[in-house]
Amino acid sequence: MLLTTIYATEYGSTGGVTIREDVYSFGILLLELVTGKKPLDTMFNWELNLRHWICNTYPTAVMEIVDNNILRTEFTNLQQHSNGVNILHRCLSSIIEVGLYCSKDLPNERFLMRDVVPMLQEIKNGVLVD
């Protein structure tokens, strides 16, 4: 069960690594980057993993799950912009959403990387344009 916090639930049963398992790992990586939490953090256990912890608070409390280092650094950078906090919130929410879709339990419900890349580019462009 502990492996499912890092690896896709189907890991090991497919006889090899699949594209969907890679997408799962990428999704967990995105969630890890935004929250600053590692999948094996001591706050997680058999019943609560990184993804489930985020699902319990997303989308109502995005800023509560975001790593304080991101908030401190990016908020300072965006303070000059009149809409800086909203831009940061929208960007982080979008990244979390991509991470959650990539790390869904069922492989056929996960995004494919060919779909993820344009989404991330759109998020990046949205921040740069605003």
Domains contained in the chain, CATH given: 2-129 (1.10.510.10)
- Report CA-CA distances (Å) from 67 to 36, 70, 97, 105, 118: 5, 6, 16, 24, 24
Omega before residue 59 within 30° of 0, cis: yes
- The alpha helices in the chain, defined as continuous H runs, are 19-35, 50-57, 62-65, 68-78, 84-102, 113-129
Give the number of other CB atoms < 10 A from CB of residue 84: 16
pTM: 0.81
Q: pLDDT by residue for the chain (130 residues), tens digit each?
A: 344 455 556 555 555 667 778 899 999 999 999 999 998 888 888 888 999 999 999 999 998 999 988 877 766 666 556 565 678 888 899 999 999 999 998 999 999 999 999 999 999 988 766 5
